[in-house]
Structure 1
């Protein structure tokens, strides 16, 4: 089925399937039913079957799912059979934390460069990668086949950075800046607004009080 026919709710559940199936493989579990998987992952068995049926089903009546086969299928569906070149824009605390998070590389997201405009930061090394002046980012993207950029700048500078990234041919943006970017529709954007998430917690804590 074409990706644009799959609901966003289903797409956002796929990484959770991937994570839990990896844990089952680590425990040497060979097969599992939708009911058993539902007890582990927190979705209903019906929801699991519906989600997987969007991509072909993969299960067998009376047998359930072969854990490793299903894991590999999910891996293909979410695009983890290849590697991606990435960069970070903004070498502050958040940018440095992302640069030092080694699990990205394990999943094929290879950090190729880190950029900042602050002369106090440019030239330092983070996780064996030297921070480069952001003025060089367009050339770097083109020369290194960079597909994904992580924006970790301030709110005020994020849109300008995004415009430069679009001009350079970036395909996807992971935006940590607390602002909604104006981006052409063909560019994939995933926003992580940390304060929004924290305020959601605040809402539920208020109800508990």
Structure 2
């Protein structure tokens, strides 16, 4: 499960498999072939089999895949059988939208607190959270067994904040700041750059002209 030789391209396809299999379960579909899965997802049947064979396969000749079993196995591969505590830093519009999304808790990601550096934000309530002062974040992380930090702050000060998070023991950063953070190899950073994604959309639309 922790095979570091598996390409990032394969890893980034796993959440899509997980989502589509979940949709199939919602429709009470219990068995599916790689060809049928290909028609739904858009990957080739060969690609699907190759991707899943990286983790042991799971299919049976002449039967296909048991949807529920495959969904659970991919969930385990993605680490969704583990509970993670998270903090969110930056309670602006984006941070509030993330805090209000209920799907994270269902997937095992528990946001424990919201933090902000703006004195006007501190003490306000978002959903069930009172926004805390980001000056106190290290102590909170250590006292509450926090694994993940979600960064939704401006670029200025983002590296300094990342350094503080690392020193406090954070293992992963979900980074919405449009900057590449310098962290030790032991800390995983997943960058979500909304502007770059929009620019990619713009390019693809222009290429169709």
Q: Same fold (TM over 0.5)?
A: yes
Q: For residues 146-183 of structure 1, give each alpha carbon's deviation from its aligned partner in whole angstroms, at most 9, with x where no partner exists.
A: 00000000011211110110010100000001111111
Aligned to 1:99: 99
Q: For residues 83-107 of structure 1, give each alpha carbon's deviation from its aligned partner in whole angstroms, at most 9, with x where no partner exists.
A: 1000101111111111011111110
TM-score normalized by the length of structure 1: 0.98
- The 5 A counterparts of 1:102-117 are 102-117=102-117
Structure 1 residue 205: Cα displacement: 2.1
Aligned to 2:29: 29
Aligned to 2:46: 46
What is the CA–CA distance in structure 1 between the aligned matches of 2:69 and 2:208, rounded to whole Å?
A: 42
For residue 113 of structure 2, give the secondary structure of its aligned residue in structure 1.
Answer: strand
What is the CA–CA distance in structure 2 between the aligned matches of 1:195 and 1:168, rounded to whole Å?
A: 30
Structure 1 residue 2: Cα displacement: 3.8
Unaligned runs of 5+ in 1: none
Structure 1 residue 204: Cα displacement: 1.7
Aligned to 1:176: 176
Q: For residues 1-52 of structure 1, give each alpha carbon's deviation from its aligned partner in whole angstroms, at most 9, with x where no partner exists.
A: 5421111011000100100001111111110000000000111000000010
Aligned to 1:142: 142
Q: Does 1:186 align with 2:199?
A: no
TM-score normalized by the length of structure 2: 0.98
For residue 87 of structure 2, give the secondary structure of its aligned residue in structure 1.
Answer: strand
Unaligned runs of 5+ in 2: none
Aligned to 2:56: 56
What is the CA–CA distance in structure 1 between the aligned matches of 2:67 and 2:21, rounded to whole Å?
A: 6
Structure 1 residue 208: Cα displacement: 2.8
For residue 43 of structure 1, give the secondary structure of its aligned residue in structure 2.
Answer: coil
For residue 149 of structure 1, give the secondary structure of its aligned residue in structure 2.
Answer: strand
Runs of 4+ in 1 over 3 A off after TM superposition: none
Structure 1 residue 206: Cα displacement: 2.1
What is the CA–CA distance in structure 2 between the aligned matches of 1:203 and 1:153, rounded to whole Å?
A: 27
Give the number of aligned pairs.
209
Aligned to 1:84: 84
For residue 4 of structure 2, give the secondary structure of its aligned residue in structure 1.
Answer: helix
Q: For residues 90-127 of structure 1, give each alpha carbon's deviation from its aligned partner in whole angstroms, at most 9, with x where no partner exists.
A: 11111111101111111010010100110000001111
For residue 59 of structure 1, give the secondary structure of its aligned residue in structure 2.
Answer: coil
What is the CA–CA distance in structure 2 between the aligned matches of 1:39 and 1:177, rounded to whole Å?
A: 36
